[in-house]
Structure 1
Amino acid sequence: MDMTKPLRIGVLVGHKDRFENWELMVFDRILADPRFEFVTLLIHPHPFADRMVSSLFALEARLEGKLLARQPAYTPKHFDARHQRIDYLEAISGHNTADGSVASALLKRLDLDLVMRTTPEGLPDDATRALPFGEWAFNFSDQQSEHADWFSYADVVARAPTTELTLYAKRGGETQVAQIASSSFNIKFSAARNAAFVRERGVTLLMRELGRLADTRRLDATSVARLPAISAPSFGDLFRYTGALSGYLSAKAFKALKSKLRFGSSIWTLYTGRGRIDDFDPSQAIEIPPTKGDIKADPFLFQHDGECYLFYEAYADGDRKAHIAVGRFNGDKVERLGVALDCPHHLSYPFVFRDGDDIFMMPETHQSHRLEVWRCTEFPLKWELYSTALEGQSAADSILTRHGDKWWLFTNLSDHHAYEDHCNELYVFEVDGPELKRLVPHKRNPVVIGSTVARNAGRIFERDGKIYRPSQRNSHGLYGYGLNIMEIEQLTLDDYRERCIRTITPDFKTGLLGCHHFDAAGGRYIMDARLSI
């Protein structure tokens, strides 16, 4: 197989115009990448077959989409339907399916490597056999009719912790399909908004996997049973759903009112104890409670001159932005020393580290649309801007770590058009250290996709030859629901692999709603926990 030839891709759609944002994003990115050749748009003669929804559900879905999932139109940079080759599949007379023999002949003539399907109805089995890598599709494409789609409605009605996104390949008439990749995403209050959000995340997942295939010409997939068919909501489901949605919108309006009146901020508390990342018991931790004027989150510990310091995101109830404060431990109590860093924009996640004789801080500054590293000039309260990187990008919860003789940057960027969210994509770069003059992106960025594992939750540790990355477990409709300890099993510029070895949920103490950050130093660990929404 010629590895230098572009991957020849066709996209199966239901019409030649009126594309959704996520479809246009896929078209654009395929055309922009020299590893791919966008050969044709294949038009299915009956893309929805006999799938129907009730007129009541169609009305509800249309209204909800306009009110709660509205997004700006995506303007393609490379795709123009007027200049794109279009091929129409022929229908078998009297059936809502494509003619298999004609479709097979067409695909062989086009010499396609794969077809990406965006419709619920796909290619005939004998046609997919003509494709070396099969027909690819997302599970959300299967859950739609001509007038509405119902992806994630069942999840919202059932109050599922997450919505599952699956990219799979169909190759002929097998009873199983090949699961290429899957991710889990935190549930939104609206199924329509949830579906629109997941579709946008799906673009990133698809392009990563297409890139992997183009580079290797090998489909790394797991055979699974065909995905279960999920029907449109019944009248009872719709009744329960609209009731839950109304309650949520009322609560959201009340929270917005409290915010406008400058109170009702999310309240976090801290817990500390003796232990390290591979051995700690949060049930034995001691609380460092917040005060109305000093709410603490995102804690980092730092040992200096034999004493343990605490750097943290600090804000008062009702504040619209936070600053970085610092305190010093006296036993299990913390003496506040003052403000370490304050800027016109929001600051959080004060990752403090040492390189040689210098002490640095890399706080979250995503509102400034760049990554910032600050150097300490007088410990612990005076800092100067040392370096910046990722100009124009929105990076959250970034960590620098040294492994072997290399520096690595782990950061949460948001690849988005309409829905910015830093909880779902982990990017890795090889860098030159705190100066950040050289950033080499990982070949498989984003290396992790999904709200239950992607977002960083503290410093990366290396112990006894193992590398541990704390990560957030965002689920159950909550930001900061739980905390994972991930073990990084492979870290090179070409490959990344990690596994979850432990998850901490907010049941280690009474009255907690979440926990989402961990750090340790000098035999002491620190966590934060959520007390209010």
Structure 2
Amino acid sequence: MNETKPLRVGILVARGRALENWELMILDRILAAPWLELAAVFTHPHPFEEDRTSRLLSWSSRLEARALARQPAYSPKYFNSHRHFIDCYDIEADASSTADSITGSFLSRLKLDLVIRTTPKGIADDAIAALPFGEWAFNFSDRRSAEADWFGYAEVLAHAPTADLVLYAKCGGTGRVEIARAAFNIKPSATRLSAFVRERSVTLLMRELARLADTRRFDLPASADAAHGHAPSFGELLRYGCIVAGSVSAVALKAIKSRLHADSAIWTLYTGHGEIDDFDPSEATEIPPSSSSIKADPFLFQHDGKCYLFYEAYARGDRKAHIAVGCFDGDALQPVGVALERPYHLSYPFVFRDGDQIFMIPETHQARRLEIWRCCEFPLKWELHATAFEGQSPADSILIRHDGRWWLFTNLSDFHAYEDHCSELYLFEVDGPALTGIKPHKRNPVVIGSTGARGAGRIFAQGGRLLRPSQHNSHGVYGYGLNIMEIETLTHDDYRERCIRTITPSFKAGLRGCHHFDATDGRYIVDARLTI
């Protein structure tokens, strides 16, 4: 992080209203970050637009929040409202200006770098002009009134595949600029979606504040996306109610079946011949599941001239899975046995070589740590070699060596109420499978959003390119699609990738999703979802 003085940040909140969880999280994390300084907290006496939303929207959104978006209160570690609101300033309703009103000269005296707005109404344009990096806000902050929040209603009504979170700034003389954007999988209700996106927004904001504190550059292009959206009408609310009722009924039925051990996600495998940059899943051969052997997250591994397959395995109705292994005879998979079983759920068995040793990194997020296992006798005997991220929730981890350095890709869930491994990709420079030295990347999380963050298989070095499979979670489905991402920049200070291909479940009839890819020695394998 830049060694110069911290960014001086002001926060604008609504006067007379309790701070929401996401607002408390922002205040808390700013105070915890040495590169940021919470310089002022402003309150707006009239933070909402004059138009009132309907009583039906107000009543239904409150009821829905209690039923579908209930979350524990956030307990700040650093922020104290009694201490940090002492030097708080009110935006006066009278624009004639008093000592406490927010004007350009007033902000100049405070030497603020930017103001983060959590309300629909912000500070005046002349005051914004005095801020070097402007007034920042999220698009969801614009879609609310004093009575209700309507972020997410339009997406649910339109059956949209995802909902966009947009962090933007208003700057003097340049208008509105987009700082960052992320897309998140749709939820069964707008209220649940809104609460989830608000929690994710904290991570996005802190990443962009860290980037700004480090670079002190803010040369972003103007954004044309200025639509705030309208509150749903009476007719739209009735239609929305029918959609939510159907979604909630389906979720409830699935939960009942799960408790009765009568339901599990059913996956199937497809194998064929090709590489990551040219495979055609429509020509693949199916390796179908049985009620006692459902297979997902497949990883191929060549050993002594044979092609083995490690995969997540479970029977229908099971609450946890183990790691099994099979061996290919042509396109037929012959079972070999159980490679690893633990008291907690295992999946995503990434198997790789380092010299003459073989290692496996299964997903062990239920154990609240990352585990690396070393093979003692291939393929069924493994011993615990290293652990990391104790007390955290890593998932779908991949270790690669690139330009002489080891890099660990993992999906950590930075959460308070909504644990989610599909939205944030973290990158660490490590010392190899021992994991005795772990250095976080400067731009963590390097990818945010459910349409590209979560890993979907090993990373390939192909013709001088790095290609990363990732999940495309959308349409309300976990594991809806599969991306092939090309990593364009991978350094200590920067990470950039672009999507070069997306595979949807349309490649075979009857599929609901596909979310994993692997290949070795000319053979590839994908998994596909048969049920929701």
Q: Same fold (TM over 0.5)?
A: yes
Whole-Å separation in 1 of the counterparts to 2:438 and 2:210: 20
Shift of 1:404: 1.8
The one-letter code sitting in structure 2 at the alignment partner of 1:230 is G
Aligned to 1:31: 31
SS, match of residue 214 in structure 1? helix
1:111-510 equivalences under 5 Å are 111-172=111-172, 174=174, 176-510=175-509
SS, match of residue 103 in structure 2? helix
Contact 1:327 1:334 survives alignment (8 Å) = yes
Contact 1:16 1:81 survives alignment (8 Å) = no
The one-letter code sitting in structure 1 at the alignment partner of 2:215 is T
Contact 1:35 1:214 survives alignment (8 Å) = yes
Which digits, 9 at most, give the CA deviation of each residue in 1:203-253, with x for residues without a partner? 000000000001111114231125112111111111111111111111122
Select the residue among 85, 90, 93 that pairs with 1:91.
Answer: 93
Between Structure 1 and Structure 2, how many residues are aligned? Answer: 529
Whole-Å separation in 2 of the counterparts to 1:190 and 1:198: 12
Contact 1:389 1:436 survives alignment (8 Å) = yes
Whole-Å separation in 2 of the counterparts to 1:45 and 1:291: 62
Contact 1:181 1:221 survives alignment (8 Å) = no
Shift of 1:442: 0.1
The one-letter code sitting in structure 2 at the alignment partner of 1:119 is T
SS, match of residue 203 in structure 2? helix
Whole-Å separation in 1 of the counterparts to 2:196 and 2:98: 31
Q: Structure 1 pair 104/355, CA: closer, same or farther in 2 (3 Å)?
A: same
Whole-Å separation in 2 of the counterparts to 1:460 and 1:93: 57
Question: Which structure 1 residue ranges, 5 or more long, are not aligned?
Answer: none
Which digits, 9 at most, give the CA deviation of each residue in 1:87-115, with x for residues without a partner? 01112369xx9999852222122111000
Contact 1:17 1:81 survives alignment (8 Å) = no
Whole-Å separation in 2 of the counterparts to 1:256 and 1:37: 45
Contact 2:89 2:100 survives alignment (8 Å) = no
SS, match of residue 149 in structure 1? coil
Contact 1:326 1:340 survives alignment (8 Å) = yes
| 4+ aligned runs moved over 3 Å, structure 1 | 97-102
Contact 1:99 1:124 survives alignment (8 Å) = no
Contact 1:89 1:103 survives alignment (8 Å) = no
User: Are 1:69 and 2:74 matched, yes or no?
Assistant: no
Q: Which moved more, 1:116-125 or 1:49-58?
A: 49-58
Whole-Å separation in 2 of the counterparts to 1:235 and 1:316: 46
Whole-Å separation in 2 of the counterparts to 1:4 and 1:450: 31
Q: Tell me the TM-score normalized by structure 2.
A: 0.97
1:39-78 equivalences under 5 Å are 39-78=39-78
Whole-Å separation in 1 of the counterparts to 2:53 and 2:334: 62
SS, match of residue 481 in structure 1? strand
Which digits, 9 at most, give the CA deviation of each residue in 1:282-308, with x for residues without a partner? 111110000110000000000000000
Q: Percent identity?
A: 66
Q: Tell me the TM-score normalized by structure 1.
A: 0.97
Q: Structure 1 pair 56/339, CA: closer, same or farther in 2 (3 Å)?
A: same
Which digits, 9 at most, give the CA deviation of each residue in 1:384-410, with x for residues without a partner? 111111111110000001112111100
Across the aligned residues of Structure 1 and Structure 2, the Cα RMSD in angstroms comes to 1.6
Which digits, 9 at most, give the CA deviation of each residue in 1:19-71, with x for residues without a partner? 00000000001011111110111111310030311001100000011111110
The one-letter code sitting in structure 1 at the alignment partner of 2:470 is S
